[in-house]
Amino acid sequence: MKSAIALLLLGIFFIGCKCTKHCSAKSGLSRAEILAKYTWQVNELWTNTSGNNVHYLRGVENTTEYNQDIVRLTFNLDGTGTHTDATGIVHQTTWSFSSDDETNLDLTINGITTDHWNLVDITEKHILESAARASVLISARWEPVQ
């Protein structure tokens, strides 16, 4: 009986502490505020191009043909930001959430290339995202630059 009461109280606690769909329950910051708070770097990347898999894991493995160590993203609250590519060139970006629940994000680089991120999870520790471009599937984990 005591364990049932404890579970009920725990459930009420979590329901009572639940943040709205636009904020992180742990930090109280909105997803946009978390994006803007950090410069983000690729920690892990899986890419499948026409059945060929490549993998990058910071400090461990890089079977991509690019230097992922220098890739960076910044997000500003006004929907702008920057993307540093694998050659070190910094590009201007625009971004916006493309779903009401903020689990999809559109990132446009130099006003030309738009990546449609799906299954986006944003916390103060990571951004998880998946994207598809023609015959390329991408899954990535981004982490704040330390």
Q: Which pLDDT value is given to residue 26? A: 64
Tell which CATH classification among 3.40.50, 1.10.760, 2.40.128, 2.30.29 matches the domain 23-144.
2.40.128
Average pLDDT for residues 52-57, to the nearest whole number? 97
Q: Which residue reads 């708070």 in tokens?
A: 37
Phi then psi dihedrals of residue 115, to 5 deg:
-100, 135
CA distance 129 to 141: 7
Band (63; pLDDT cuts 50, 70, 90):
very high
Say how far apart CA 58 and CA 61 lie, in whole Å: 7
State the amino acid at position 67 in one-letter form: N
In whole angstroms, give the CA distance from residue 128 to residue 146: 18
Phi/psi for 49 (5° steps) reads -115, 110
User: Each residue of 84-135: pLDDT tens digit?
Assistant: 999 999 999 999 999 999 999 999 999 998 999 999 999 999 999 999 988 8
Q: Smallest Cα–Cα separation from 128: which of 139, 138, 137?
A: 139
The residue ranking higher by pLDDT, 100 or 9, is: 100
The answer to whether 131 touches 116, Cβ cutoff 8 Å, is yes
Where are the domains positioned within the chain? 23-144
In a 3-state reduction of DSSP, which class is residue 20?
coil
Q: What is the pLDDT of residue 99?
A: 96
- Region 56-79 average pLDDT: 97
